[in-house]
Structure 1
């Protein structure tokens, strides 16, 4: 029952209900004022009261949920009309209607952006000014519009900006909650599994190590190392996400790197076969650890969601002083549904949608590529998917530390 009759909340329904409450208040006050009004104006005041109450009922019961959330803003126009008629009916005296002008602008500021407050200014100016002029009020009364209307606008804009600020704060809190939930998912899924593998490997080597063939011992050790690297990469992703979120920059140690060697090293961490078809002689100017992180993230994504063969290739992506190299990771799986493509590189795109996925890998890859001066993007293949990162070719700047800023 509380929800059915509540006037507090966000969205078109609650904006309309609050407008209905204001109309009802105006109507009730008009009814109460009939007894104190001269006989010749009682009928007019009754009509105004009836109009207010009718608008209140319409605003409350109309199915606003079916319309755009900004639709209730239209209620401001009949409200201004009633206020204007009320001012005229009482000989151009605005003392009784001024508080309702103020409440109207406060209501608009609470539920609509600053632009709505500014858009309401011209009709509100006319609604206030016309009855004063028609009633023959003296110039001093008419000139009060110069003070009154800017005051209305100031109140509305101030409320709208404050509400917008609070909404951004709430969104920040929601984003932090999503981050905490994603971190919990990471610890539950992406860390527990490799830790179990590491524990099994260590226990096996501790108990049966001397009796195991050397080849078997080396295979178990490789499994443990690979799982430790998996945990390390996840930790790097989480730390980078925190740095990017807090500062928007990453410290890069840039060097000319052989792209083929870097790709072969990166895919060596994976448990599934990945073919490297990077031509010899291609070099990029990149941070070695970040380059490895990008390649591992893309290849892991292809292994997890695609199908073999998975191929890493590269080719020049531009010409001149700003030449870039494009690194492609292609799989032959079912591809990415079109409705998911716009979310691929957004943070937490996989959180909640895919068990065991935090949804940071592609986002981190894109941010790292941008910090290097390149970018990351997706293109459908036939069949499968192709993820690409562009990186600056080596040879046009000296190696050394640099700060990569993310747009």
Structure 2
């Protein structure tokens, strides 16, 4: 009711959040809320029921000004590039329009083809294939047709400035398969028949390779966010649908499959820049050691251990990720923070990350683990992780 309900006003929702904030002490929501108020609106007071009305009115007064529009916020936070997450069937019309009207901040698409390998429900897959066929202009009746249609959309995304793919996985897939098997599996699911678990895993394994090869051809970076269990509360899923707050961290044994997948691409000479984001912190050391297996010297930090993501996108999660990377790899090559927040006020999360990074390194200096004589190098490393590494890695 107080999040998306239509029977409550904006003020009532804000007031309920103000009532909740004092209960979020030590939770990142407390930090983010006050960083946003401070950096966006210049408000330094703590948000609670006593200050709610004053803060609400002050924020709304400023939001009515042009400099507080979504674009104004990007300028305020000195944003250079924003990457959205987009399905292969998306038109990207807003990206095209934004570029055409001269907005100085680059707003680029990110290729997110998860639905093209979602074969669990034949009817949904068939419907998606029909949409893909329509936007690509490719008649789809076979696996090869589907790949051709996806490749055409991949080319279109590249024309609009895309340099990244993103894949949301429960786990990595690396089953053995033959081309004939995959073509047969496609025909089966496209024809409306349910697949066995083995067939589903083989199809997903094949599609990850197809996508990886496409990204390698264009020099994109491929990203993998894995380890979530989604829609756990079936009653709420039926009531209000997916992506409404009922997902959690999963437990999957993915190390062998991850290694096998990366090795397949690497053996073929087609392993592009890759960023691995784990949701379960127990895999931190797994990822930190895995990335070292496939560095090849062509690009500094070609294979990356991605920043703390989703439930780990907070101080403790960030510290654990950076500590694992520091002791088992090279923190200095890290491309830094990524946030998948949809809010135009979420840019302070990058400041939150930078503060966490500086605290982490600063404690080492205070403890004598990093000598004061290395301060110039320390400062450069912080700047690299916060900005230059990402700029040089992605080359937007």
Judge same fold: TM > 0.5, yes or no.
Answer: no
Question: Higher helix proportion, which one?
Answer: 1
- Which is greater in Rg? 1
Give the TM-score taking structure 1 as reference length. 0.21
Give the TM-score taking structure 2 as reference length. 0.21
